Structure 1
Amino acid sequence: MGYHFSAHLGFLFKDLPLEVRFEAAAAAGFDYVEHPSPFELPAKRFRELLDQNGLRMAQMSSGNGGAGLKGFAALSDHTDAFREGYLRAADYAEEVGSPFLHPMAGLMTEAHDRAECQKTWLENVLWAQEALKGRALNVIVEPISEATFPGYYLSTLGVLEEMLPELPENVYAFVDIFHAACNHEDVCAFIRKYADRVGHLHIADHPGRHEPGTGEIDFAPVDRCLKEAGFTGCLGLEYHPMASTNDGLIWRDSWPIFRTKSGE
């Protein structure tokens, strides 16, 4: 297949304590896992659990800043907090062997000016890229739809595309197929145009954000364009299982899930 599936331990196996989800992921056939905010476990313990279960870390974020928040990278009034948190997360990410560290952009309010948020986001992402020099880590940035988190600054692939020319080539795009579907965006067109810049993907069907095959997304073209691009990274399973995680994983036997257009 070329690429790998990654078990998102914040979404899958949630009936188990976090420390037990590693074993469950390995038993379900995963080689990679991810967690956006793994800090409830010390990095040393997280790495032990990876090693004990033959797993590798696919990606993580630098933290969301607390309940109800989605990071600070675009918020000029939180620059110090963002940078301090990013450096702490970089140490953690290095210890657990994550190749990518995602600086979450944050939620704009009426008090925020969008142009100022754009300027702040670019400055902070460039700062993050410089801060990771000499480490086995890269910055990766993910658009998250406003349908899911109203006010999120980096909300579309289109917004990211405007910024990519101003970012170094070792700042990678994190493509979430569910969020792109919320925005009615063409994921394959983006992947074809920026094949060398795509570092990681998330998959969930739309609507509902459940397993592939439960909604309307045709995943076959995504599979095809990833293979054509020579993508060898991970597709993270960031969805809400409709029943148990293991019961829901049967979709992998029919991957890529194909959906015909209405009327065909």
Structure 2
Amino acid sequence: MQHLGYDLSANVSLLWTEYDYLDRFAAAADAGFAFVETWWPFPAAEPTVAQEADLLRSIEAAGVRLRGLNLFAGDMPSGERGIVTNAARRPEFMANLAAVTRIAEATGCDRFNLLYGQLTDDEDPTAQHAAAQEAVAIAAAALGEGGGVVLIEPLAAGLNGAYPLHTHEDVIALLDGPFAGVAGVGLLFDTFHLAMNGVDVVAAVERSGARIAHVQIADAPGRGEPGSGDLAWDEVFAALRAAGYAGPAAAEYRPTVRTEDSLAWVRP
């Protein structure tokens, strides 16, 4: 499935939630998607052998390609948004990275969202940033061997606890600073999160340019499908083309109607 020249992937963590998780890959294929992505689908950082096999089997049976995968981000329903700012959780992160690497090798997945993590009052902020940045470099080295890119994502303030990255500028500062010599790290440009932080999305595309390694599409406010909020989508996609962004782009929104009906915005 394409939209204005961009190959679209379907994020099955938010789309087709009326189906059991493993059935969503087939639902995406039936809707015309060749590519899918997903948040980390397991409750623990390290899946069981059976859980991993079931995931791979469902993707293969659906005939879709996994383009994007989140690393384990902790207990997200309880509010966690990443574990790597916590140095004490490094063994958990390493076990998860091993699992993600196996899944990448089996599927050809090449985009990996590593949520940066929240800051706590219990530790020195500098030490927490250093722990997160070291984990990003470790992940980039491991996943880069297969051509993968580790994505750093700004999140909406007020919705994600003490998560320190709110805009594209925050991520660009990391890419120009501690990650300047680290290959395989890029900006995850999520239109919803940026817009909710008051960012001019079109201007942000122009500013970010080649730093954008992945785009996720959702309207704002509401995080619904394009057309359900206030973003000027023709201008957003025109800016992406002008910036030379070639894709991929992911539908990562909460449909306001049945998922199939929410795809009316797609224009080949």
Unaligned runs of 5+ in 2: none
Question: 1: distance between equivalents of 2:203 and 2:127?
Answer: 29
Query: Could you tell which deviates more after superposition, 81-90 or 238-247?
Result: 81-90
Measured in 2, the distance between the counterparts of 1:93 and 1:153 equals 28
1:143-178: per-residue Cα shift (whole Å, max 9, x none)? 112222121133322211211113234212111100
Q: 2-side partners of 1:6 and 1:209: how far apart?
A: 17
CA deviation digits over 1:179-221, x for unaligned, max 9? 0001111333343344333121111111111111111111122
User: Any conservation in 2 of the 1:2–1:230 contact (CA below 8 Å)?
Assistant: no
Cα shift at 1:93 = 2.5
CA distance in 2, matches of 1:3, 1:42: 32
Per-residue deviation at 1:110?
2.5
- CA-to-aligned-CA distance 1:99-131 (integer Å, 9 cap, x gap): 022222222233243333222222221122223
1:162 aligns with 2:162: no
Shift of 1:251: 1.9
Inter-CA distance 220–102: structure 2 relative to 1 (3 Å threshold) = same
1:103 matches 2:117: no
Q: 2:230: which partner in 1?
A: 216
- TM-superposed CA distance for 1:70, in Å, is 1.8
Q: Distance in 2 between matches of 1:144 and 1:250?
A: 27
Does 1:57 pair with 2:71? no
Against the structure 1 CA distance between its residues 136 and 170, is the aligned structure 2 distance closer, same or farther, given a 3 Å change threshold? closer
- One of 1, 6, 17 as aligned partner of 1:3: 6
Show CA shifts across 1:126-147 (max 9, x none): 1222233422322111111222
Unaligned 5+ residue runs, structure 1? 256-264
Q: Output one character per residue of 1:9-61: Cα deviation in whole Å (capped at 9) or x when no partner.
A: 11111111122211211111111111111347734433333333331112111
What TM-score do the two structures reach when normalised by structure 1?
0.87
Q: 1:243: which partner in 2?
A: 257
Q: Which among 36, 42, 55 is matched to residue 46 of structure 1? A: 55
198-207 vs 77-86, greater mean Cα deviation: 77-86
Partner AA of 2:172 in structure 1:
E
Please say if residues 56 and 107 of structure 2, whose CA atoms lie closer than 8 Å, have aligned partners that are also in contact. yes
Q: Residue 119 of structure 1 aligns to which amino acid in structure 2? A: A
Contact 1:31 1:55 survives alignment (8 Å): yes
- Tell me the distance in 2 between the aligned counterparts of 1:65 and 1:96: 23
* 1:169–1:98 CA distance, 2 compared to 1 (3 A): same
Tell whether the 8 Å contact from 1:7 to 1:237 is kept in structure 2 after alignment. Answer: yes
| Equivalent AA in structure 2 for residue 45 of structure 1 | D
Mapped contact 2:172–2:187 kept (Cα < 8 A)? no
Contact 1:3-1:231 within 8 A present in 2 as well: no
* Structure 1 SS opposite 2:213: strand
1:132 equivalent to 2:143? Answer yes
Say which is worse superposed, 216-225 or 34-43, in terms of deviation. 34-43
Percent of pairs with identical residues? 29
The runs of at least 4 consecutive aligned structure 1 residues that moved more than 6 Å come to none
1:89 corresponds, among 92, 96, 100, to 100
**Aligned residue in 2 for 1:202:** 216
Mapped to 2, the partners of 1:46 and 1:230 lie a distance apart of 34
Give me the whole-angstrom Cα distance separating, in 2, the residues matched to 1:20 and 1:132: 27
